[in-house]
């Protein structure tokens, strides 16, 4: 395979990232997300059946909202029997579950984690604080509607919802995946400018490699 110099790679992949050292610019993409069309009817049904039975979980817990996730892994509830397993990084996960109070300080990491996940990917909003701000709804630092910043496929209400409620939420997500109703990844691509506008209204300091869009 013919080797390409840095300038050619930057030109082909539209990499800018001018704030980074030259050697690091190729490590971060500034490409917009693109829509992924489903396969043919019957193949897509089979693939969704398989996806629904193999959920790899990335948990983003900001406080008490993540408390009830721990019991799910114990022998009493044993979520592994539903095909659910925890993963350590966004790139290995297919389900992003956000539990607890989401603030202006944490939303940028939520967005970045979501964008690092490979598709297809799904989002669960866990607990009242994540869904509508909960008891902190009127705080200057609270994110009241997380679905304004990333798409949400399933909501699990409560403060805090018990493990049984979480399992019911996972089962609901599995039903929606199998029916082909979880299209948040394409929704994010189709409405990318709207999501990014909402994100930039509250995130002033990303403290990460900057976006170029």
pLDDT in tens, the chain (213 residues): 445 565 665 555 444 455 556 666 555 555 678 888 888 888 989 999 999 899 999 888 877 777 777 888 888 888 888 888 888 888 899 999 998 888 888 888 898 889 889 889 999 998 888 888 888 888 888 888 899 999 999 999 888 888 888 899 899 999 999 998 999 999 999 998 899 889 888 877 665 655 544
Burial 118-143 (b: 16+ CB within 10 A, else e): eebbbbbbbbbbbbbbbebeeeeebb
Predicted structure pTM score: 0.81
Residue 28 domain-assigned (yes or no): no
Residue with tokens 């109703």: 181
Residue 75 domain-assigned (yes or no): yes
Can you give the residue range of the structural domain that contains 172?
55-202
Residue 176 domain-assigned (yes or no): yes
Element (H, E) at 132: helix 128-132
For residue 132 the two structure tokens come to 């509508």
pLDDT of residue 24: 62
DSSP 143-177: -S-GGGTS--SEEE-SSSPPHHHHHHHHHHHHHHH
Distance, CA of 19 to CA of 137 (rounded, Å): 36
Distance, CA of 109 to CA of 80 (rounded, Å): 27
Specify the number of domains making up the chain.
1
Residue 24 domain-assigned (yes or no): no
Q: What Å distances lie between residue 172 and 45, 62, 78, 153, 165, CA to CA?
A: 17, 23, 17, 10, 10
Residue 157 domain-assigned (yes or no): yes
- Report the sign of the C-alpha dihedral through residues 138, 159, 70, 64, in that order: positive
211: left (phi over 0), alpha (psi -120 to 50) or beta: beta
Burial of residue 188 (number of CB atoms within 10 Å: 0-12, 13-18, 19+):
buried
Q: What Å distances lie between residue 91 and 83, 88, 112, 122, CA to CA?
A: 18, 9, 11, 13
Residue 44 domain-assigned (yes or no): no
Residue 150 domain-assigned (yes or no): yes
CATH number (domain holding residue 123) = 3.40.50.12280
Residue 16 domain-assigned (yes or no): no
């Amino acid at each position: 395979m013919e080797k390409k110099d840095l300038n050619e790679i930057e030109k082909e992949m539209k990499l800018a990232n001018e704030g980074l050292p030259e050697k690091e610019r190729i490590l971060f993409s500034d490409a917009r997300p693109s829509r992924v069309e489903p396969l043919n009817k019957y193949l897509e049904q089979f693939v969704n059946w398989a996806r629904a039975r193999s959920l790899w979980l990335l948990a983003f817990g900001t406080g008490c909202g993540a408390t009830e996730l721990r019991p799910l892994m114990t022998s009493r509830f044993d979520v592994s029997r539903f095909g659910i397993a925890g993963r350590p990084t966004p790139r290995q996960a297919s389900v992003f579950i956000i539990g607890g109070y989401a603030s202006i300080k944490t939303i940028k990491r939520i967005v970045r984690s979501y964008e690092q996940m490979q598709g297809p990917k799904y989002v669960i909003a866990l607990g009242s604080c994540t869904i509508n701000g909960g008891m902190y709804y009127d705080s200057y630092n609270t994110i009241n509607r997380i679905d304004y910043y990333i798409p949400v496929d399933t909501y699990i209400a409560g403060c805090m919802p018990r493990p049984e409620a979480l399992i019911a939420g996972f089962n609901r997500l599995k039903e929606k995946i199998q029916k082909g109703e979880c299209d948040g990844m394409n929704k994010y691509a189709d409405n990318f400018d709207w999501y990014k506008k909402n994100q930039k209204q509250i995130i002033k300091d990303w403290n990460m490699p900057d976006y170029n869009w």
